[in-house]
């Protein structure tokens, strides 16, 4: 945990942060609003005090209540991984600005997040499905998508025919998922 890095982040992004900075093991986590992604990322990338040149990962997350996009960045100015979470995307219409203007290599990772969660990255010029066929209609990694043979979760495992386990017994009536403590 890099305490000095935490203070630097607080000083620089004080009012842009939408949640507390969390630190655990060798990771630092900040949360921002989706609209602030270009500004924060550009600062992290260009500011000589941060110099986050390397994008280690970009992924979508469905917490069951909201959608998030998590970016993992590396810089030689800190021994920690920096996780930036664009928090609070609506599950019905998740939209977030693209970071392809900084890292063109994020293009496919954003395509993957679109393919799996339906998150629309505004500014990505090639946002189409990447794994699933182009005429596929749903988003497989969303929490309201159940794999048909969900034997691990089904209380009637091995009893009910496969078609009927399509919606597991512990699914909430509204369609969304198991109770989640993830925020």
**Contact footprint for another protein (CB under 8 A):** 24-27, 29, 53-57, 59, 61-62, 70, 72, 74, 76, 79, 81, 83, 102-109, 112, 116, 125-135, 140-141, 145, 147, 150, 152-153, 180-182
In angstroms, give the least distance from the CB of 55 to another protein: 4
In angstroms, give the least distance from the CB of 25 to another protein: 5
Cβ contact 9:80 at 8 Å: no
In angstroms, give the least distance from the CB of 111 to another protein: 9
In angstroms, give the least distance from the CB of 31 to another protein: 11
Q: How many whole angstroms separate alpha carbon 20 and alpha carbon 62?
A: 20
Residue closer to another protein, measured from CB, 13 or 121: 121
In angstroms, give the least distance from the CB of 101 to another protein: 10
Residue 146: closest CA among 121, 118, 171:
171
Residue closer to another protein, measured from CB, 5 or 15: 5
Angle, alpha carbons 6-11-15 (nearest 5°): 105
Give 21: exposed, middle or buried? Use CB within 10 Å, 0-12, 13-18, 19+: middle
Cβ contact 30:13 at 8 Å: yes
Residue closer to another protein, measured from CB, 91 or 150: 150
**Joined tokens for residue 52:** 């986050």
Number of other CB atoms surrounding residue 41 within 10 Å: 23
Residue closer to another protein, measured from CB, 3 or 125: 125
């Amino acid at each position: 945990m890099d305490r000095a890095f935490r203070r630097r982040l607080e000083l620089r992004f004080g009012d842009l942060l939408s949640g507390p900075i969390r630190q655990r093991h060798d990771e630092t986590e900040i949360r921002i609003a989706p609209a602030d992604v270009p500004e924060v990322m550009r600062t992290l990338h260009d500011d000589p005090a941060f110099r986050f040149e390397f994008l280690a990962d970009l992924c979508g997350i469905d917490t069951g209540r909201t959608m998030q996009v998590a970016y993992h960045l590396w810089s030689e100015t800190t021994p920690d991984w920096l996780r930036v979470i664009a928090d609070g995307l609506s599950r019905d219409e998740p939209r977030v600005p693209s970071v392809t203007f900084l890292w063109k290599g994020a293009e496919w990772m954003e395509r993957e997040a679109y393919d799996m969660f339906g998150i629309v990255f505004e500014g990505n010029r090639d946002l189409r499905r990447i794994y699933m066929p182009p005429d596929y209609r749903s988003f497989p990694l969303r929490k309201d998508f159940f794999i048909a043979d969900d034997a691990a979760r089904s209380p009637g495992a091995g009893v009910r025919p496969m078609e009927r386990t399509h919606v597991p017994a512990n699914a909430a009536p509204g369609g969304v998922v198991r109770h989640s403590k993830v925020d």
